Amino acid sequence: MIGLISATAAGSAGCRRVASAWPGRTRVYEGPVGDAVRRAFAECEQLVCFLATGAVVRLVAPLLTDKTDDPGVVCVDEGGRFAVSLVGGHAGGANELAREVGDLLGAEPVVTTATDSVGLPGLDTLGYPVEGDVAGVSRAMLDGAPVVLAAELNWPLPPLRVVASGGEHTVRVTDRAVRPAEREVLLRPPSLVVGVGASKGAPADEVLALVEDSLRGAGLSVRSVAEFATVDAKRDEPGIVEAAARLGVPVVAHSASALAAVEVPNPSAAPLAAVGTPSVAEAAALVRGGELLVPKRKSAARPAMATCAVVRRPARGRLAVVGLGPGARDLLTPRARDELRRASVLVGLDQYVDQIRDLLRPGTRVLESGLGAEEERARTAVAEARLGHAVALIGSGDAGVYAMASPALAEASDDIDVVGVPGVTAALAAGAILGAPLGHDHVSISLSDLHTPWEVIERRVRAAAGADLVVTFYNPRSRGRDWQLPKALALLAEHREPATPVGVVRNASRPDESSRVTTLAGLDPATVDMMTVVTVGNTATREIAGRMVTPRGYRWQEEPE
């Protein structure tokens, strides 16, 4: 919950704006400011104070205990110009909250945390448990001193500005139960799956003691446990659910038939009779693959009511396929920005890389290539993800529309995680400039026959013409392809009047953007190139006040008889 506190009319207005935008996420604290701050500090995970920073410093100073437990505090000035991350920038989430509040109110987020200020990810913000000399290693990274990455597990991490050897400071990625050395940070990846079986009524204390003893005996860290895995019949067993909750991990259940198909070293007739599979603990831990580190063990109670097994799951790389939009920076989505900053490897067309190079974190490895190398980029991105890296593969517009998502996903198997990040397509950007040409059913067709035979393209154009669909042509004309657009327009002209509106937009959303509305008969194909999107209306499309409009067909818009 986010506590909202204010003292003036302007501050109260800001509170109302935040509260209305985030219902259920916020609570407005009324009454004397000092009392409101103290109550919110005790009851909320974060605070947004519409007060002077000096006043908030004096109010919260006596309440501070430890940066890992204190709520994040953001201050917004009286004029609503700045959202200042004051306390708990990383652990309390104040840095991100300042950015969110800034986006909401049109305020400038002010973040003074050293790593955030220079674009480095904080070691305590990576989403993994962290131990050791966080401050010292972070300071070394900031100072440009060599920091060694000792990755016992190749987990997908953002760029950390690290080296392979030769540094006095170390970031170690491990799930082993070791203590951090001097000038070392341990990152605990979620690499361990604990398979759990339990008799009806098994106490949570018994389940938890078994799991912790098993991990301790194998020299594994409980902080790297990703989940408890069990059979469907036991997904709601109170002892399993409570033990998992105490460790802060989810319970993931699998069908008995799926577990029965898993080959295990210690099958048993008892679970087969009880729940339909000869193994619960081992099979549930192994069902998604991995290395069995702890074979099935029984709890120490007599009779034993719980079993467990531990598997180290394979490290999975991460491929984010990111749409950059049509070119304007303000049409790049916040999610796309986040993925660009999360990636340790960026793969893309050189001219697209140039558009967003300033958004990348220091140390990001950039693999760029020129036009015509789409297949190579797709294979490279997938290969880097298979090595365990966090990869961003970029494309213009939406990466799934005539861009990189299709070839990349054709290469990718289920051994990596794939995330799609949508972007504003060229058709949508052009449509917004033209007016509302896509107000009813529409289709996009690429006129490039480099990879698609013209016979197939022509069949699609004929179908769109006969179906009276608005058509957006991508890749309409280049120096080597100058006859396809006139041919496509002629096919449409067989079904549409010469006065049918046609919108032509070049470099949509970019500084040299140009657009015009003409007609099917009046369009000169020679004025079109590869940077242009051509939108041809259907039989209902009209030019109204210089804008291209395709009616949606609402009944209330029909003309009276």
Q: What is the pLDDT of residue 100?
A: 87
> What is the pTM (predicted TM-score) of this model?
0.73
Please report, for residues 427, 445, 447, 507, the alpha-carbon distance to residue 533 in angstroms, rounded to integers and kept in the order given: 7, 11, 11, 8
Q: For residues 246 and 331, give the distance between their C-alpha atoms in angstroms, rounded to a whole number.
A: 43
- Return the residue matching tokens 């008995």: 256
Q: How far is CA 242 from the centre of its chain?
A: 30
pLDDT tens series, the chain, 561 aa: 999 988 888 888 888 888 888 888 888 888 888 888 888 888 988 989 998 888 888 888 888 887 778 888 999 988 888 999 988 877 788 888 898 888 888 888 888 765 555 556 677 667 788 899 888 888 887 777 888 888 888 888 877 767 667 778 898 999 999 999 999 999 999 999 999 999 999 999 999 999 999 999 999 999 999 999 999 999 999 999 999 999 999 999 999 999 999 999 999 888 888 888 999 999 999 999 899 999 999 998 889 999 999 999 988 899 999 999 998 998 999 899 989 988 999 999 999 999 999 888 878 899 999 888 889 999 999 999 998 899 999 999 999 998 899 999 999 988 899 999 999 999 999 999 999 999 999 999 999 988 899 999 999 999 999 999 999 999 999 988 999 999 999 999 999 999 999 999 999 999 999 999 999 999 999 999 999 999 999 999 999 999 999 998 766 555 555
CA 245 to chain centroid, in Å, comes to 26
Residue 559 has a pLDDT of: 55
Q: What is the pLDDT of residue 275?
A: 86
In contact, 100 and 48? CB cutoff 8 Å:
no
* Calpha distance 83→537 (Å, rounded): 46
Give the residue from 330, 329, 324 showing the smallest Cα distance to 397. Answer: 324
Angle at 358 between CA 355 and CA 364, to 5 degrees: 105
Instruction: Name the residue with tokens 């100072």.
Output: 143
pLDDT of residue 115: 56
* 370 CB-contact burial (10 Å; exposed 0-12 / middle 13-18 / buried 19+): exposed
What whole-number distance in Å separates Cα of residue 204 and Cα of residue 242?
Answer: 6
331: which DSSP letter?
G
CA distances from 547 to 378, 517, 537, 559 (A): 39, 7, 12, 21
